Structure 1
Amino acid sequence: MTLTELRYIVTLAQEQHFGRAAERCHVSQPTLSVGVKKLEDELGILIFERSKSAVRVTPVGEGIIAQAQRVLEQTQSIRELAQAGKDQLAAPLRVGAIYTIGPYLFPHLIPQLHKVAPEMPLYIEENFTHVLRDKLRNGELDAIIVALPFQDADILTKALYDEPFYVLMSAEHPWTQKTTISSSLLDDKSLLLLGEGHCFRDQVLEACPTTNKELGSNSKYTTVEANSLETIRHMVASGLGVSVLPLSAVDTHHYAPGVIEVRPMEEPAPKRTVAIAWRASFPRPKAIEILSNAISECSLARKTQ
């Protein structure tokens, strides 16, 4: 049984004439007749009742014709899916990002991506690095946007841009008199940090060795931990303490002038490298290329350059 033979019997059932059916199938009448007879012999039944004046579908043939029609329709659907799959930018892309990147990158990325890949909408998830890593491995996500270092077997990474750190403080804080802030000053007991699990917390601690040392001791040194950079921003605005933000988060707030201030850190200023990671076996490399290019070209990435 072949798809060609199924097409023969469906066409013959519609035309009820061997000559017209053969013409529609672009074959000779004997070729079509042989194909129909071959299928009937294989099935052991007559699909058509033949006479000199007409060709009629038998009662058992009606069910076979109906099923053959469904098979041909499904075959066409498979062809259409395969054709769509050839366009790697014509389907949604599942993208994950860590909490300290996603909210600040996506408002810049999505308009830029829509210009170059309007038929590739994004399914977006924000989560911790280790969760995104697992979802990338098992195929729940196609690509993730993280901070380096990031290494995993069979995972490719591409650095996109570097992002310096800034110190955030209330407008009444004495450090507003400074033009830059030394990392050595950030051993203050009122430093506000993200909670455990956030890689940005670890990067801040690495950039501030004194703070990192104090956190590991049994001293009276304490910090306030929060679940998001926006929560930290609100606490800083209220005067609870100071914090460190990546550049992308500096201007994304709704506070009026005179409430909060930011200052760059002294050179060499600490920074993080934002990167994209994807499975080496992912079958849509063009989609990854377009996504990474869009990130590099969006206004946020240009701001860091």
Structure 2
Amino acid sequence: MIRTSLRQLEYFEALSETLHFGRAATLCGVTQPALSTQVAELEDVLGCRLFNRARRAVSLTEEGRSLLPQARTILDAARAFESTARQQPTMQGRFRLGLIPTIAPYLLPPLLPALRQAFPDFQLELREALTPHLTGALLAGEIDAFIAALPIDERQVTALPLFEESFFLAVPAADPDFVAPPVPPDSPALERLMLLEEGHCLREQALSVCTQVKPVAMKRFGATSLFTLMQMVANGMGVTLIPEMAVATAQSIGGLKVVPFAAPAPQRNLALFARRNGIRFQECEMLAEATRRIWLSPPDVA
């Protein structure tokens, strides 16, 4: 007789992701005692401890880390079984979406309320991380999809194109070098370019723009967020590349000016990445279409 239930495996998965009994219980829609009891019963059935429980921290044991991929495989199969029975994707239930840091703060404000209105039973859980981390999380089954910039070289991942956007240059407002934009690709001002730290795709995109000059400021400065870079620019420490979706934020910062590049302006292409042949691929397609529509639709005019 099989003594392990799908509910127990769901609680195991949730606790492994949150490493917090309260948050895991909220995620599963149950009380904390109920979740704790079911996890303990699962450990009794398996004859091993899945979690180390300390007063202020929870962590996976070696056995827990070993069994987690099998638990996710079983849950994926059960979700696929239910999805097949429904025939059509429903845009319902828990969906784990990742975003890179140079997209999340600017795309989420219009995206989340629009998705909530269109799909009230679609429960988005968000993770912000760099592209390599999100790719690994997608392949490990820890997230269902993520939004990042093309290209990504991973055969098991499918890209669903979203939209393209131009890059601009953020400069100190009083900088005399930018009296007459647009900025040519060989502008001496690009030698003062400041970059995000290693691992950010925007760093590589910025360097690809500056093929005709050698940035020197990048050796002295680095930041983990685009907003930090914009603050540095506003205080005269250099210039930086920003995507079109960040222009409104940049223009709200005192001491900072946004100028366009000479045509053809550099661009980046954004996509929603999903597992090839994944069980929620149709929902990923629906989410990509909704994201395109929401972002590209003209703003409401009062």
Is this a same-fold pair by TM over 0.5? yes
Residues 109 and 176 of structure 1: is their aligned pair in 2 closer, same or farther, counting only changes over 3 Å? same
Give the distance between the partners of 1:246 and 1:160, measured in 2 at CA: 15
The residue that corresponds to 2:204 in the other structure is 202
The question of whether the paired residues in 2 share the 8 Å contact of 1:235 and 1:241 is answered with yes
Cα-to-partner distance string for 1:8-34 (whole Å, 9 max, x where unaligned): xxxxxxxxxxxxxxxxxxxxxxxxxxx
Following superposition, the deviation at residue 128 of structure 1 comes to 0.8
Structure 2 alignment gaps of length 5 or more: 1-77
Aligned AA (1:167): L
Distance in 1, matches of 2:202 and 2:285, equals 26
1:103 aligned residue (98, 102, 105): 105
Secondary structure of the 2:249 match is coil
**Contact 1:99–1:128 at 8 Å: present in 2 too?**
yes
Which residue does the alignment assign to 2:255? 259
Q: Structure 1's 129 and 90: CA in aligned 2 closer, same or farther, altered over 3 A?
A: same
Q: 1:228 aligns with which of 194, 207, 225?
A: 225
- 1:208 is matched by which residue type in structure 2? C
| Matches of 1:125 and 1:246, distance apart in 2 | 20
Partner residue, 1:244 = 241
Give me the whole-angstrom Cα distance separating, in 2, the residues matched to 1:172 and 1:88: 53
CA distance in 1, matches of 2:281, 2:227: 34
Distance 1:203 1:102, change over 3 A: same
Amino acid aligned to 1:191: L
Which amino acid is the alignment partner of residue 121 of structure 1?
Answer: Q
Which has the higher mean CA deviation after the structures are superposed, 286-295 or 116-125?
A: 286-295
Kept in 2, the 8 Å contact 1:166–1:264? The answer is yes
Contact 2:100–2:130, Cα closer than 8 Å, also in 1: yes
Q: Alpha-carbon deviations, 1:17-67, whole Å to 9, x = none?
A: xxxxxxxxxxxxxxxxxxxxxxxxxxxxxxxxxxxxxxxxxxxxxxxxxxx
Distance, in Å, in 1 between the alignment partners of 2:188 and 2:85 is 52
- Mapping 1:132-147, distance limit 5 Å: 132-147=134-149
Q: Distance in 2 between matches of 1:172 and 1:230?
A: 19
- 1:91 is matched by which residue type in structure 2? G
TM-score using structure 2 length: 0.66
| Structure 1 residue 290: Cα displacement | 2.2
1:264 partner amino acid = P
Letter in 1 for 2:126: I
Give unpaired runs (5+ residues) of structure 1: 1-77
1:71-122: CA deviations, max 9, x gaps?
xxxxxxx9xx948973531211101111111111111111221232111121
Q: Is structure 2 residue 125 aligned with structure 1 residue 120?
A: no
**Paired amino acid for 2:115:** L
Structure 2 CA distance, aligned partners of 1:220 and 1:82? 54
Count matched residues. 217
Q: Secondary structure at the match of 1:104?
A: helix
Q: Does the CA contact (< 8 Å) of 2:171 and 2:257 recur in 1? A: yes
The match for 2:265 is: 269
Separation in 2, partners of 1:83, 1:247:
38
**1:185 paired residue number:** 187
Please state how far the C-alpha of 1:260 moved relative to its aligned partner. 1.4
2 CA distance for matches of 1:192 and 1:155? 31
For residues 188-220 of structure 1, give each alpha carbon's deviation from its aligned partner in whole angstroms, at most 9, with x where no partner exists.
442111111101110110111034xx36xxx89
2:239 corresponds to which letter in structure 1?
V
The secondary structure found in structure 1 opposite 2:169 is strand
Cα distance change of structure 1 residues 245 and 186 upon mapping to structure 2, 3 Å threshold:
farther
Q: Pick the structure with greater CA Rg.
A: 1
Residue 93 in 1 paired to residue 95 in 2? yes
Could you say if the C-alpha distance between residues 208 and 84 of structure 1 is closer, same or farther in structure 2, counting changes exceeding 3 Å?
Answer: same
TM-superposed CA distance for 1:295, in Å, is 1.2
| CA contact 1:161–1:273 (8 Å) conserved in 2 | yes
**RMSD between aligned residues:** 2.6
Matches within 5 A, 1:9-20: none
Q: Distance in 2 between matches of 1:261 and 1:96?
A: 30
Q: Which amino acid in structure 2 is aligned with residue 203 of structure 1?
A: Q
2:175 match? 173
Q: Percent identity?
A: 32
